Amino acid sequence: MRVLITGGAGFIGSHLCDYLLARGHEVICMDNLITGSTANIAHLAGYERFLFIKHDVTNYIFVEGPLDAVLHFASPASPIDYLEYPIQTLKVGALGTHKALGLAKDKKARFLLASTSEVYGDPLVHPQREDYWGNVNPIGPRGVYDEAKRFAEAMTMAYHRAHGVDTRIARIFNTYGPRMRLKDGRVVPNFVAQALRGEPLTVFGDGSQTRSFCYVSDLIEGIYRLLESEVTDPVNLGNPEEMSILEFAHKIVALTGSRSPIVFVQPEDARVRDDPKVRKPDITRARTLLGWQPQVSLEEGLRRTIEWFRDRV
């Protein structure tokens, strides 16, 4: 296949570039580098089947030659990012998705949208299934990301129904691994960096809020299986092993061998407004239709991630 990946220099996008190249595909990576980094794809420089284009996908996208698939991963993806770039986040979810879908339509290419568990908001249904419509505050500070992705899903389905574009929607739950930005504000890099520096691990609230963590290689395998499938409805991709943030903090301390204490903070911070109290995917659809489920244990995934961060803290 000849594939375009928007946001290809980001955390997940760059791993997707590696995966597709390893399988013999030709990859065009497009990124405006607001939150992505050329460091994530530097090892691919010189590959005959790899091309990087610096471009903002909210503007018209031109790609010369045929395309078999467009994978739309461009977007700020952490609270720190979409609070710093609220308008860019909305634009890439709306205009960027529109431009990417238009390209897929023109090239008669399969389109895959990287959506998110955030479309469920602070859920009133647990675990979250794809038929749950969510509980989202559209005017809260996190709404710029939640609603951008919800709109992107609606646009994707509209192109599928009105224009016959062959579409896929991946709802991605918390994912971690090498190439996460040290200061991206999410819990894995925050806790790992604090533990490796011997600083207190800062837990928001009482730490009872829950998350589930999927290692990046598992996620990428799920994305590829979805792309290759005939499933046009949204599919949850994540690890259903749920734990509290406080439990997670203790696990990080143990795996790093740190002596860092755990402290509880009550920040007056927009990042924690409308913060989901629970998050756990129901992956029945992925298991049944894709034959997919996570393979990497949390301990093994965290060990790999911690080793990657050790050289960068």
Mean pLDDT of 54-70: 98
Domains of the chain from N-terminus onward: 2-176+215-239+282-290 (3.40.50.720), 187-210+242-280+298-310 (3.90.25.10)
C-alpha of 302 from chain center: 17
pLDDT score at 185: 86
* Nearest alpha-carbon partner for 224 in 10, 15, 9: 15
Mean pLDDT of 57-67: 98
- Enclosing H/E stretch for 214: strand 214-215
> Residue 204: helix, strand or coil by DSSP?
strand
Catalytic residue of the set 82, 85, 145, 224: 145
Round to whole Å and give the CA distance between 111 and 94: 15
pLDDT level of residue 283 (50, 70, 90 thresholds): very high
At residue 274, does pLDDT exceed 70?
Answer: no
Q: Contact, 103 vs 109, CB < 8 A?
A: yes
Q: 255-271 pLDDT, tens per residue?
A: 999 999 999 998 665 45
pLDDT score at 136: 94
Round to whole Å and give the CA distance between 147 and 9: 23
Q: What does 139-186 look like in DSSP terms, one character per residue?
A: TSTTHHHHHHHHHHHHHHHHHHHHH---EEEEEE--EE-TT--TTS--
Where does the chain have alpha helices with state H? Answer: 11-22, 79-84, 86-91, 97-107, 143-163, 187-197, 216-228, 245-256, 284-285, 298-310
pLDDT level of residue 275 (50, 70, 90 thresholds): confident
Active site residue 145: yes
Mean pLDDT of 96-104: 98
- Enclosing H/E stretch for 30: strand 26-31
* Nearest alpha-carbon partner for 5 in 103, 79, 105, 89: 103
Cis peptide upstream of residue 138 (ω within 30 degrees of 0): no
Mean pLDDT of 195-214: 94
Mean pLDDT of 18-26: 98
> Where is average pLDDT lowest: 8-17, 158-167, 175-184?
175-184
Q: Contact, 266 vs 160, CB < 8 A?
A: no
At residue 272, does pLDDT exceed 60?
Answer: no
pLDDT level of residue 176 (50, 70, 90 thresholds): very high
Q: Contact, 239 vs 218, CB < 8 A?
A: yes
At residue 99, does pLDDT exceed 80?
Answer: yes
Q: 289-313 pLDDT, tens per residue?
A: 999 999 999 999 999 999 999 989 8
How high does pLDDT run on average in the chain? 95
pLDDT level of residue 184 (50, 70, 90 thresholds): confident
Q: Contact, 294 vs 237, CB < 8 A?
A: no
